[in-house]
């Protein structure tokens, strides 16, 4: 009998994982029929995969046993357990993510490979969590494909280069066009959008403007008054919840359940975030931010997976948002009963 190569074993294992990653999972019999691998080998390979994952953080396999017929037991790889390896910033396909999961799974199982596997996972997570901003210069601005936005950005950067201020026409959402005189600080890209960092004249209040809403091309001029002290807008890039917050500082304490807490443990946070694992495997996050809208959106995205502990006003605000959401989904009968009660 010919010896099976390591690459063939890897290929067979990936075939099995791919079938178990279906929404309905797969039985040993189904896997055997679809791959041509005999049932005993399939069963042995699943056992080996399960033994490679003692901490549940790599390739996790759920088993749904059929008490009447062991052959109908279903095995499933839930994709939500692979979030740390799917790396959305890399746009991996499901198949690529499963292969990556398998590679880490086997790497963690070997004492000789554990350190390298852990280091590689950390580097990949760093790639996923890279800072999503870029301060633009004239060279990078000229590569922007949207011509109207490109013209506006080039005009702004020329004004900054020449030490001039700008007349700026802006169309906010649901409001009329507003005219500004601004001291431009810089233009940056964030999350596929382009933004102007600037200070209003004469008072010097800092603001950021989405450049897709600029009307026409800004014009440069020499300001005759005293210019305000320049605001360090790049410091906002270190805010854990986005660079648009210049509200008062918020020191939030959040409690995540064990599953959602694991997500936060794997992410690379700036120094403004501290994370502590509790004895019950819940996770406490202490975060300092100036972006109320950013942290609110973040917290609401976890639903019941997170509880705001501090500050009290933020806890109450999140409670009210959840209550409004619950009210929105009430049935007509529930709304009628609520109205009668009130």
How high is the pLDDT of residue 180? 95
How high is the pLDDT of residue 283? 92
| Dihedral of alpha carbons 206, 210, 213, 218, sign | positive
Query: pLDDT of 278-317, one tens digit each?
Result: 998 899 999 999 999 899 999 999 999 999 999 999 999 9
How high is the pLDDT of residue 265? 75
Asked if residue 150 has pLDDT above 80, the reply is: yes
Residue boundaries of the structural domains of the chain? 6-128, 134-232, 250-328
Over residues 170-191, mean pLDDT: 90
Over residues 247-258, mean pLDDT: 91
State the residue for tokens 């649901």. 174
> At 54, is the pLDDT very low, low, confident or very high (cuts 50, 70, 90)?
very low
Over residues 179-205, mean pLDDT: 92
> At 128, is the pLDDT very low, low, confident or very high (cuts 50, 70, 90)?
very low
The model's pTM: 0.55
Name 191's Cβ contacts closer than 8 Å, sequence gap at least 6: 132
Average per-residue pLDDT for the chain: 82
The rounded percent of the chain whose pLDDT value lies above 70 is 84
Q: What DSSP element (H or E) covers 26?
A: strand 26-27
The most confident of the ranges 21-35, 127-141, 233-247 is 21-35
How high is the pLDDT of residue 104? 72
How high is the pLDDT of residue 311? 96
Asked if residue 337 has pLDDT above 50, the reply is: yes
> At 130, is the pLDDT very low, low, confident or very high (cuts 50, 70, 90)?
very low
What are the strands of the beta sheet with 74-76, ordered from one edge?
26-27, 74-76, 62-64
How high is the pLDDT of residue 139? 79
Query: pLDDT of 78-127, one tens digit each?
Result: 765 554 444 444 556 666 767 777 777 677 667 777 778 777 766 665 44
- Is the distance from CB of 276 to CB of 284 less than 8 angstroms? yes
Q: Residue 12 carries which DSSP code?
A: H
Asked if residue 166 has pLDDT above 90, the reply is: yes
Residue 102's alpha-carbon distances to 15, 107, 187, 227, in angstroms, are: 11, 8, 42, 59
> At 52, is the pLDDT very low, low, confident or very high (cuts 50, 70, 90)?
low
Alpha helices in the chain (DSSP H): 6-20, 28-35, 39-51, 83-86, 94-109, 114-128, 138-141, 147-161, 258-266, 292-301, 312-328, 332-341
Q: Which residues pair with 289 in a beta bridge?
A: 250
Residue with more model confidence, 116 or 3: 116
Question: How many Å apart are CA 176 and CA 146, to the nearest integer?
Answer: 23
Q: What is the CATH number of domain 6-128?
A: 1.10.10
Residue 39's alpha-carbon distances to 35, 92, 323, in angstroms, are: 10, 31, 52
Q: How would you label 60-92 residue by residue, b for 16+ Cβ within 10 Å and e otherwise? A: bbeeeeeeeeeeebbbbbeeebbebbbbeeeee
By mean pLDDT, which of 114-123, 160-169, 319-328 is the weakest?
Answer: 114-123
Over residues 141-170, mean pLDDT: 90
> At 8, is the pLDDT very low, low, confident or very high (cuts 50, 70, 90)?
confident
Q: How would you label 179-202 residue by residue, b for 16+ Cβ within 10 Å and e otherwise? A: ebebbbbbbbbbeeebbbbbbebe
Distance of CA 226 to the CA centre of its chain: 42
């Amino acid at each position: 009998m010919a010896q099976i190569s390591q690459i063939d074993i890897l290929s067979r294992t990936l075939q099995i994982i791919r079938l178990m990653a279906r929404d309905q999972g797969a039985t040993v019999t189904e896997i055997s029929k679809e791959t041509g691998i005999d049932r005993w080998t399939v069963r042995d390979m699943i056992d080996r995969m399960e033994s490679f994952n003692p901490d549940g953080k790599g390739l996790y396999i759920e088993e749904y046993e059929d008490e009447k017929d062991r052959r109908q037991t279903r095995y499933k790889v839930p994709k939500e357990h692979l979030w740390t390896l799917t790396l959305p910033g890399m746009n991996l396909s499901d198949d690529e993510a499963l292969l990556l999961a398998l590679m880490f799974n086997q790497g963690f199982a070997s004492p000789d490979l554990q350190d390298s596997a852990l280091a590689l996972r950390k580097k990949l997570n760093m790639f996923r969590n890279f800072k999503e901003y870029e301060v633009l210069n004239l060279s990078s601005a000229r590569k922007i494909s949207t011509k109207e936005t490109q013209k506006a950005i080039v005009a702004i950067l020329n004004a900054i280069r020449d030490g001039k201020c700008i007349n700026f026409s802006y169309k906010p959402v649901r409001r009329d066009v507003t005219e500004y005189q601004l001291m431009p600080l810089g233009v940056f890209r964030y999350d596929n959008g382009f933004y102007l960092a600037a200070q209003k004249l004469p008072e010097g209040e800092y603001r950021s403007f989405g450049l897709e809403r600029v009307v026409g091309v800004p014009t440069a001029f020499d300001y005759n008054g005293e210019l305000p002290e320049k605001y360090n807008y790049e410091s906002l890039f270190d805010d854990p919840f986005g660079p648009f917050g210049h509200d008062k500082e918020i020191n939030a304490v959040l409690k995540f359940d064990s599953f959602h807490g694991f997500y936060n443990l794997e992410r690379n946070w700036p120094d403004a975030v501290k994370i502590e694992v509790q004895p019950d495997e819940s996770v406490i996050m202490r975060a300092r931010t100036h972006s109320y809208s950013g942290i609110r959106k973040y917290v609401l995205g976890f639903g019941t997976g997170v509880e705001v502990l501090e500050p009290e006003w933020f806890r109450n605000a999140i409670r009210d948002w959840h209550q409004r959401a619950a009210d929105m989904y009430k049935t007509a009968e529930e709304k009628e009963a609520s109205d009668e009660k009130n």
